[in-house]
Every structure is written in C-alpha cells, then in structure tokens.
Structure 1
C-alpha cells in the first residue's frame, strides 16, 4: 500500500510517499480501506514543530476489510469513520472500535471526515460555552474545518448575532453564506460590539483581542493547539472567564456524551441543517499541497485527502 511519511520536521516539503505493508488489525481494531482522510491543523503543526517524526494520523472514513480479535458490532463491508492514532495518510489504516462509528446511508466518506471529528470539536466547544438563546457569539478561524461548523452551530443554538473572525477579508463572502452576521479580520483595531462568548481555535497572540471582544460575564472557550497567555486582570475587570476544551477527554472519559453528540451531528447533517464544506480533495501523493493550504490559511472549509 501507499503511505505518506516524513523523517525530520519542516514544512509541507518534507512529506513523501512510500510503499509499506498493509497492517494487520490487532485486538479490537478494524482494518479500513481509506476513502477519505481529513487534514487538520494540529497534525500540520506537529510536522513542523514536533522534535521527532510522528505517524500522520487523524480522521479517516472508508470500508472495513478485516476485523481484529474480539471485534463485535462490525463486519467486513461496513462503512465507518473515526480517529486513528497511527498512520492515517495511507491506503489502509487501523481504526480501534472505541473511536469508530458507522457512516449512515446518504453520506459519503468525504462527508464523514468533513463532519464528524471537526464537528464534534465545534459542538463540544459550543457546549462548553454554555450558550443561551439570544446570546451573541464570535468564532475565530471561522473558515476552517472546525470553525465553519462552529459558526453554523452557534446559529442553530439560538445566537441572535454571530461574528466570524478570519485571517483575510477575502473569506468574508464564504462565512456570510454560512450565517455570519458580521465579519472581522484579526488585525482589525476593534472586533466590534462585545459578544457573550467566543469560540477560539487559534490561540497565541489572538487570545488578547478575543478576551477584549467579550462583554461583561462573557466566556472564552479555548480549543486551539496554538497555546498563548491570558492576563488575569483582563478577566477580573469584566468578570470574564476562560474555559479550556479538549475533545480527547470527552471521548475517553464521557463516551455516552461523545456518542450522543455524534448522533446529533449526523441528524443535523441528514436534515440539511448543518452543511460541512470541503475546500478541496487531494490525492495521497499531493499531501504536501494539502498541508500548504492549511499552513497558508487558505482553506475555506475542510481539506481532505482521497486515496
């Protein structure tokens, strides 16, 4: 089979395609013939920043072709999606049943990787914000794989006004088509009228203006891998709060919540209420181009590899 790998940290240029044996599923694992693989900012960052090479994992979707020992509830030929922690940029990948879920009729593999993981992150971050009907919201990275879903979900949860924060004014039309009432760029001097909650997928230097954008008693949900620091005084003067959110803790510690959110996401998709957007579908050998799109903040929606 073909697999994307790299041997030292760097930009997209360090990725290369190699031949590798098809892996055998271990206990509790499914061997999946990958039809779609999601490209995420955390993986792109790790390629550039991690001290040692990592297996390029992430969301996959495809057909089950073999079962590991002890697997129940799945059969060969099933269509599944889920998060892999080993090699995912490949023709075949190993998916543990704890991280797997069926792809319903009416959805493609590309739909699945555009919706499930990014959607769960967006859904969970929104839940952490404790939104109330009539609240106002601001979403950073609003054109990204998770951000464009968070933008829509905020509206679906009753936000009276949703602000999209983006890196480039050229993304304004895209986020407006998804329900943004207002659009601001990161370098704007002010992000406009204060909001009740911010969903932040960027972190770093953007945390300060994100906190400043909050109304008194506002909530900032930080779900970025970008780090950053918030000044306690900036929270104190407006009785504001910062809430950290990580999906892995929900998946491991609250599996029933994880499953309920996943079911609700599929319902929203199948009824047409939630519309995941795919920026582009790249062949496996074009993984470097896919990473370059993410690094350049050029994507409008989800970036997907299609083996």
Structure 2
C-alpha cells in the first residue's frame, strides 16, 4: 500500500506572500488529544500575515505551517479523544499556538479542545468564518466592555471580519455602533451591514464627528486593532471614564500614550487578545454558546468577501488581504 499524502502549506523563511509553498507531504496522524480534520474551507486572519512576516506574538519554527481557522470533517482521532467525533462537521477555534499547529492544507491536525461544531444552517465557508471574529468581539465588548443598551461604541477598521462581527454584536446588545473606514468606498456597505454611523477618516475629523454623533459625550467603548499615532484621536473621541480596547497593532508607527487626555478623562486603555478568552475554559464555553445561539437565530451572519480563492492560490489570497480591499472574511476553499 502506497503512503498516503496531503497538500499542506508551509513556509521556510519569513517574508512576503510568496514564501508560502503548497507541499505534498505524508498524511499526518493525530497524537494524543488531537484530531485530523479533512478541510473544506479556510478563513484568513491578519494574525497569519503578521506570523508569516515574523511580526506576530510568537515566532515561526521552520518549516512552519500557518492558519487558525478551518472547517471540515473530523476523519481521525488521537488517543484520548471520543470516537464520536469521527465524521462530525466542525470548525477550529483559534485557541492553539500557531507555531505548533496550522490549518492551511487539505488536512489539519488540531487539538480537540480547539474544535467546535457550528450551526447546521451555515455553509463550510461560513463555518470557517465565525470563531476568530465573534469570540474576539465577545471578549472585548461583552465580557470586558459590558456593552449595554444605548452605549456608543466606536469600531475602527470596521470592514474587517472582526469589525463586522462587532457591529452585529453591538446591535444585538442594544448599543449604537460608530464604524470607521479610511475611504468612502466601503461606507454604503458598512451601513448595509448594520452600522448605525460611519466615519470616513480620510475625509472627516474623527473626534469631531464622534462628538457630533454622541451630542458631545464621546464613545463609551472604543474597539481598535490599529493603534499607532491614531490612538491620540481615539482618546479625544472617547467619553469621560471611557474604555479603549486595543486588540491589534496594524499601524507601522509607534503608539504614543495619550497621557493628558487619559488623565483628564480618567480613561482606561486596555490591551486584549482572543487568547485571554481561550485560556479560560469558563469564558470560552460562555462565548461559544453565545455565538452559536446568535448564529442559529440569525442575529449574526458571517460576511464573506466576494472574492474567493482556492488552496492553490494561497499566495494570491495573502496578497489580497494585504491590499485591504476586502469586506468581511477572506475564505480559501480546498
């Protein structure tokens, strides 16, 4: 019997999208506490671009896989895993070290604690487009921010998958979302996706528009993945005693701390990543149930970018993500 193989994406050095290589490798077997997923679709995330470049929270160990989110069917289980998982349709939760596990490929080995069934009304493309964005938004807005009816929430980089998830979540909790986008190209789409207000930052003064929308009070919660010098404007736009949640570092420039604004307004500026939730089983369980229920009843609907890619086009998919043209999740099918 010939050895079985599978096509898996790896990279052997950090760099641009072209370092990603689709390689034919022996079919991997799951170890204790692991499963093998036959992948149907992969959802891309900014973290994976940063990881590929060597700019992420952890460094790759070469040759390195990549990827946090995939949907598919469980086709093999390792020691200690309930065999009832075999044949189940599921997707991966980004709750594992990306430098140990990766999901870009025809198959993926992942720990069972990072596998979850998703509502049957979702397609594989939608199933791979839920956990990173909705769990990230839940941890920031529901657990930390405790968003409530009438709260103004400023959401930057709002056309990202996490940004759109945040818009939906603020609406579900009765808050008022103020979405930002750099150009007017995405304004109408963001309004159609449920944003209550949209600020085009290349054309409008962010703080002035937020104060106008909030009748001078400012936003109680700011949800920002960019940081950089823009943090000063976000502080100006935040309400007295407000909360700024920084969950990313997309800006290339340093991030100055807006000391005097923070002092005068008694601001809280808090760093946050999804792994804060993933490290706590109770929070993870609550978040998973919250997201599952809202997906099942239609409150949440994953927005997938119109442009689709196949696994053989992973380099093009990463290039497209870096172009910032997408609205919602970039999905790669297998």
Q: CA deviation at 1:73?
A: 6.5
User: Residues 212-269 of structure 1, C-alpha deviation per residue, up to 9 Å, x if partnerless?
Assistant: 21021111111114473422222111111112222212212x2122112111111111
Structure 2 counterpart of 1:27, from 24, 32, 35:
32
Structure 2 counterpart of 1:111, from 126, 151, 156:
126
Q: CA deviation at 1:179?
A: 1.5
Question: 1:33, 1:93 within 8 Å by CA — same for their partners in 2?
Answer: yes
Who is 1:185 aligned against?
A: 200
Structure 2 counterpart of 1:175, from 190, 195, 211:
190
- Report the 3-state secondary structure (helix = DSSP H, G, I; strand = E; otherwise coil) of the residue aligned with 2:265: coil
Who is 2:68 aligned against?
A: 58
Question: 1:137, 1:195 within 8 Å by CA — same for their partners in 2?
Answer: yes
Q: CA deviation at 1:142?
A: 0.5
Q: CA deviation at 1:121?
A: 0.5
Who is 2:80 aligned against?
A: 70
RMSD, matched Cα: 1.8
- Report the 3-state secondary structure (helix = DSSP H, G, I; strand = E; otherwise coil) of the residue aligned with 1:134: coil
Give matches, 1:108-257, under 5 Å. Answer: 108-127=123-142, 128-159=144-175, 161-187=176-202, 188-191=204-207, 192=209, 193=211, 194-226=218-250, 228-252=255-279, 254-257=280-283
Pairing 1:263–2:289 present: yes
User: Residues 29-56 of structure 1, C-alpha deviation per residue, up to 9 Å, x if partnerless?
Assistant: 0100011111100111221234755421
Consecutive unaligned residues of structure 2, counting only runs of 5 or more, are 1-5, 212-217
Identify the structure with bigger relative contact order (alpha carbons < 8 Å, sequence gap 6+). Answer: 1
Q: CA deviation at 1:190?
A: 2.9
Summarize the Cα distance change of 1:124–1:217 in structure 2 as closer, same or farther, 3 Å threshold.
Answer: same
Q: CA deviation at 1:62?
A: 0.6
Cα distance in 2, alignment partners of residues 73 and 205 from structure 1:
51
Q: CA deviation at 1:16?
A: 2.2
- Report the 3-state secondary structure (helix = DSSP H, G, I; strand = E; otherwise coil) of the residue aligned with 2:127: helix
- TM-score by length of structure 1 reads 0.93
Summarize the Cα distance change of 1:71–1:219 in structure 2 as closer, same or farther, 3 Å threshold.
Answer: same
Q: Paired residues, what number?
A: 305
Consecutive unaligned residues of structure 1, counting only runs of 5 or more, are none
Cα distance in 1, alignment partners of residues 314 and 228 from structure 2:
26
Q: CA deviation at 1:23?
A: 0.7
Who is 2:42 aligned against?
A: 37
Summarize the Cα distance change of 1:90–1:145 in structure 2 as closer, same or farther, 3 Å threshold.
Answer: same
User: Which deviates more, 273-282 or 22-31?
Assistant: 273-282
Cα distance in 1, alignment partners of residues 325 and 201 from structure 2:
15
Cα distance in 1, alignment partners of residues 206 and 161 from structure 2:
25
Summarize the Cα distance change of 1:287–1:88 in structure 2 as closer, same or farther, 3 Å threshold.
Answer: same
Question: 2:228, 2:249 within 8 Å by CA — same for their partners in 1?
Answer: no
Cα distance in 2, alignment partners of residues 109 and 190 from structure 1:
38
Structure 2 counterpart of 1:12, from 13, 17, 22:
17
Question: 1:139, 1:199 within 8 Å by CA — same for their partners in 2?
Answer: yes
